[in-house]
């Protein structure tokens, strides 16, 4: 008798064997072997260094530039404020939320909460003029300055972005697994990645300023833009948690910094920054 299905038995066994192998490969495939479709979020702290910059102040009765201004950050050190919800904006912090569009590339948005404090009580070069009404306290500084040495006292100017120098950015980054270099084979236990990224965004500082004995001003304001690049090491452990260290450098241009309650008065500056970041995070699929 002719039983057609008998001829198909070898094909059925081959198909079942292939499906079994595929299932085994699926089971054996490590969670960390593929990044596409994963989300990640991180939270950390930073330290900054800044290049010198010229800061120009302008209003109806003055326009002058202080040249080669230096500045420093305002670190909190190891402190509970980094995780205290009521005081979490006080230290210098970094937050990032991202998504892997492929195994090697991610897109993310983040906020670098840096702090910038102008070094006061220094002799600097002043160029421009000040011509305040005689009844204003700051009129003691009236004059025309032609690249003259000038002592920038606390009474003359207090200028800082301490709540803070907020860099809000979008980033495109690449991740590469380098675990094998360190003879790590089970990357679901621990995985080491090297990362590189480029970013661009806006500066939304809350500038704390006292200028020419005017009332202190301390409000958020969209002030300019920033560009940055970074390189880092990512240590992922237990598949879902990571520690990441980053070295990040960039350029900040703020051409509209609010200095007083009068909207006609402002400052502008641009400078380079170097940021060191340590972050903790999680990576997962939804």
Q: d(Cα 52, Cα 50) in Å, to the nearest integer?
A: 7
**pLDDT tens digits for 196-230?**
999 999 999 999 999 999 999 999 999 999 999 99
Region label for 22, one of left (φ > 0), alpha (ψ between -120 and 50) or beta (otherwise)? alpha
**pLDDT tens digits for 23-59?**
444 445 789 999 999 999 999 999 999 999 999 999 9
Quote the pLDDT of residue 25.
47
Region label for 4, one of left (φ > 0), alpha (ψ between -120 and 50) or beta (otherwise)? alpha
All domains of the chain, ordered by start, with CATH?
37-284 (2.40.160.20)
Quote the pLDDT of residue 29.
76
Give yes or no for residue 3 having a pLDDT over 50: no
Higher pLDDT, 268 or 14: 268
Please give the DSSP secondary-structure letter assigned to residue 164: E
Question: Rounded to 5, what percent of the chain is helix, strand, coil?
Answer: 15, 60, 30
Closest CA to 64 of 125, 111, 5, 137: 125
Quote the pLDDT of residue 9.
53
Q: d(Cα 24, Cα 171) in Å, to the nearest integer?
A: 37
Quote the pLDDT of residue 27.
47
Burial profile 56-69: b = 16 or more Cβ within 10 angstroms, e = fewer: bbbbebbebbbeeb
Return the SS3 of 15. helix
Of 3-17, 137-151, 200-214, 268-282, the least confident: 3-17
Q: What is the mean pLDDT of the chain?
A: 90
Give yes or no for residue 140 having a pLDDT over 50: yes
Of 16-30, 184-198, 235-249, the least confident: 16-30
Instruction: With beta carbons less than 8 A apart as the criterion, state whether 251 and 278 touch.
Output: no
Give yes or no for residue 19 having a pLDDT over 70: no
Q: What is the pTM of this model?
A: 0.87
């Amino acid at each position: 008798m002719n039983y057609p299905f008998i001829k198909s038995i070898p094909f059925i066994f081959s198909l079942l064997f292939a499906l079994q192998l595929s299932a085994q490969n699926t089971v054996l495939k490590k969670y960390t072997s593929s990044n596409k479709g994963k989300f990640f979020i991180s939270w950390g702290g930073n330290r900054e260094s800044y290049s010198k910059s010229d800061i120009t102040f302008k209003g109806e009765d003055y326009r002058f530039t202080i040249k080669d201004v230096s500045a420093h950050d305002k670190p909190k050190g190891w402190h509970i404020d980094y995780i205290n919800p009521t005081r979490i904006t006080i230290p210098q912090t970094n937050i990032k939320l991202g998504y892997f569009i492929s195994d090697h590339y991610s897109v993310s948005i983040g906020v670098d909460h840096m702090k910038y404090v102008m070094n006061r009580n220094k002799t600097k070069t002043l160029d421009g003029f000040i011509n305040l009404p005689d009844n204003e306290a700051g009129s003691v500084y009236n004059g025309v300055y032609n690249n003259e040495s000038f002592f920038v006292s606390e009474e003359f100017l207090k200028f800082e972005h301490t709540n803070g120098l907020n860099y809000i950015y979008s980033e495109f980054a690449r991740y590469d697994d380098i675990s094998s270099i360190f003879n790590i084979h089970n990357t679901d236990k621990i995985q080491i990645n090297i990362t590189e990224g480029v970013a661009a965004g806006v500066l939304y500082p809350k500038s704390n300023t006292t200028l020419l004995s005017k009332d202190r001003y301390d409000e958020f304001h969209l002030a300019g833009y920033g560009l940055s690049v970074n390189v880092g090491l990512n240590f992922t452990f237990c598949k879902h948690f990571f520690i990441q260290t980053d070295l990040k450098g960039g350029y900040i241009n703020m051409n509209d910094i609010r200095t007083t309650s009068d909207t006609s008065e402002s400052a502008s500056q641009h400078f380079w920054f170097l940021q060191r970041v340590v972050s903790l995070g999680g990576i997962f699929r939804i």
